[in-house]
């Protein structure tokens, strides 16, 4: 694949890891003495969740995975149509659910996902996102735990992709097409 983007680092790996520890400490405190079932939204949240889990101090923690999509192939914008590509494997009835997401943008995907999971009788549902982009919100979704709040920019790396590429960048970068004006 020809790289038509220039990557402008926004958050370095050290900064991300430091923030993840802070978020994990808050989650550990908030769920002390309770069960916690973390659901990773594939594929983008895998790197974020793996680092988060290593830092959550909790004995009664379980994990699961779900894959949803609202982006078409090659898309930089959400289509608004949410599809479940892979459902969770275990029951969440009576559990405290923490949805772990890479980026919260329009809120369409998370709004639909919360509605689906709520029908399965969890004790609670909260949300943790590595990146929050509130300027694009179309649904009244407010994350419970946020790594970083960003402006309306296209980002890649640390699990975030474009057409399945660039997830392996060890940092989060603003992606601009080569030749585009940028700050």
* Residues identified as active-site: 105
Q: Say how far apart CA 155 and CA 11 lie, in whole Å.
A: 10
Q: Say how far apart CA 167 and CA 161 lie, in whole Å.
A: 5
Strand-pair category, 5-11 with 83-86: unpaired
Q: Phi and psi (nearest 5°) for 175?
A: -110, 120
CA distances from 149 to 10, 26, 35, 50, 79 (A): 11, 17, 28, 20, 22
CA angle (23 as vertex; 99, 97 as ends), nearest 5: 25
Strand-pair category, 155-156 with 5-11: unpaired
Q: Say how far apart CA 167 and CA 173 lie, in whole Å.
A: 11
Q: Say how far apart CA 151 and CA 135 lie, in whole Å.
A: 7
């Amino acid at each position: 694949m020809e790289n038509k983007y220039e990557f402008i680092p926004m958050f370095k790996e050290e900064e991300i890891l430091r923030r993840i520890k802070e978020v994990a400490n808050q989650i550990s405190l908030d769920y002390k003495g309770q069960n916690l079932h973390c659901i990773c939204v594939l594929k983008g949240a895998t790197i974020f969740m793996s680092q988060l889990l290593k830092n959550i101090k909790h004995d009664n923690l379980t994990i699961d995975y779900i894959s949803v999509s609202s982006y078409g192939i090659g898309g930089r914008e959400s289509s608004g149509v949410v599809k479940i590509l892979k459902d969770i494997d275990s029951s969440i009835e009576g559990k405290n659910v923490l949805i772990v997401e890479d980026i919260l943008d329009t809120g369409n995907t998370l709004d639909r996902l919360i509605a689906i999971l709520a029908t399965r009788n969890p004790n609670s549902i909260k949300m943790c996102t590595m990146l929050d982009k509130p300027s694009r919100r179309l649904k009244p979704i407010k994350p419970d735990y946020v790594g970083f709040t960003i402006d309306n920019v296209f980002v890649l790396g640390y699990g975030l992709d474009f057409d399945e590429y660039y997830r392996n960048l060890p940092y989060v970068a603003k992606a601009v097409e080569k030749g585009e004006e940028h700050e």
